[in-house]
Amino acid sequence: MKYPTLLERFLTYVKVNTRSDETSTTTPSTASQVEFAKNVLLPEMERVGLQNVYYLPNGFAIGTLPANDPSLTRKIGFISHMDTADFNAENISPQVIKNYDGGAISLGDSGYSLDPADFANLHNYKDQTLITTDGTTLLGADDKSGIAEIMTAIEYLNAHPEIKHCEIRVGFGPDEEIGVGADKFDAEDFNDDFAYTVDGGPLGELQYETFSAAGAEITFKGRNVHPGTAKNQMVNALQLAIDFHNQLPEEERPEKTDGYQGFFHLMNIDGTVEEAHASYIIRDFETENFEARKAMMEDIANKMNQELGAERVLLTLKDQYYNMKQVIEKDMTPVNLAKEVMEDLGITPIIEPIRGGTDGSKISFMGIPTPNIFAGGENMHGRFEYVSLQTMERAVDTIIGIVSHS
């Protein structure tokens, strides 16, 4: 179905810079997210018909659309995040390409283009309306497409009371991209039976498996002396970092894995001979493998320290989130419901694991099973990001279908 306000709503949202900041110590991590929630989202939530709209100190904007049929007793939530990823988000100037002809799309005057020779997924969108960047910023479809779709679904339901639906809870939150937004989510306040993050990619994505995730921070302590007299005296902290990395399995890196394969990902390394630092993320789907990866890093650190005769490799591990399948597989109702709705709409469900995480990973372990459904974004987190308006419309259809089937 076509929704006249969807495109303009999305364009309005993406033009607001809501990039999160992983160096921040506040939640939300940036003032722009607070301003977006209070000045843009809260007023519009009321305009589209949500009731009891409020903003929580945890950064979530919350609202409710009461059930209009007492026989539909479920409470279902829909959640999307406000922040965008670590890429330029200032002065976003989206392009709207109508009736895409299947060829390369010039991204403004940036010198970049979206070319099917590089991005084969473009072949799926011939004759559709695409929203792209101008090549200088990201787009922000991750996850402002989700916000726009939820808002549009609520607006449509409020304008069409003949469509009977259950109670709907809506939550728009901060800082998903830096992995902390859902840490302070108030599941007791949200108070629904199950929820969906509308934060997936192409048409039909339906996901209830994520990585389990941990972060590793390593400090390497060296000893610096003049290189001319360094023999048996110098301990080069940067070399220790290299030695540590070289003991991790070479084939278990993101660029060499897919499907259910986990990995170690070196995110950053810097320092001097005297002291160096490295940051890793660790990912795996299976709990046993996840724990084994952390144990491997600990074993490497311990071995190096024994060989060096001193504590020169200082490792700190921190779990970030866990595979939400552990919760959702106990009651597959939200997955089966979404699957049935998509099939009724002629959408082929794509049920695959997420090689990443969503807010639903954490919220599921708070007691609200929260699988993830498609929002439409492709090539997310950079200048080549784009989204199909027709896919966004199908996401709205899916949201309406879920709440009217309950």
Residues with a known catalytic role: 83, 176
**Amino acid, single-letter form, for residue 97:** I
Q: Where are the alpha helices (DSSP H) in 117-249?
A: 141-159, 187-190, 237-246
- Give 61's contacts (C-beta < 8 A, 6+ positions apart): 37, 38, 41, 42, 45, 53, 54, 55, 171, 172, 173
Asked whether residue 319 is marked as a ligand-binding residue, the answer is no
Asked whether residue 199 is marked as a ligand-binding residue, the answer is yes
Count the Cβ atoms, other than its own, within 10 Å of residue 278: 23
Asked whether residue 142 is marked as a ligand-binding residue, the answer is yes
112 phi and psi, to 5 degrees? -95, 160
d(CA 207, CA 183): 20
**If you ran DSSP here, which 8-state letter would residue 372 be given?**
E
What are the DSSP E strand ranges found in 44-84?
51-55, 61-65, 75-81
Q: Please answer whether residues 170 and 60 qualify as being in contact, where contact means their C-beta atoms are separated by less than 8 angstroms.
A: no
Classify 4 as helix, strand or coil: coil
Alpha-carbon separation of residue 242 from 216, 237, 281 (angstroms):
15, 9, 16
Count the Cβ atoms, other than its own, within 10 Å of residue 236: 20
Q: Give the DSSP letter string of 232-296.
A: TT-B-HHHHHHHHHHTS-TT-SGGG--TT--EEEEEEEEE-SSEEEEEEEEEESSHHHHHHHHHH
Pairing outcome for strands 113-114 and 194-200: unpaired
Burial bucket for residue 264 (CB in 10 Å: 0-12, 13-18, 19+): buried
Respond yes or no on whether the N-terminal peptide bond of residue 28 is cis (omega within 30° of 0). Answer: yes
Burial bucket for residue 384 (CB in 10 Å: 0-12, 13-18, 19+): buried
From the list 163, 110, 156, the residue with the least C-alpha distance to 137 is: 110
Provide the β-strand partners of residue 217. 279, 316
177 HSE (CA, 13 A, CB side): 25
Annotated binding site: 81, 142, 177, 199, 381
Annotated binding site for Zn(2+): 81, 142, 177, 199, 381
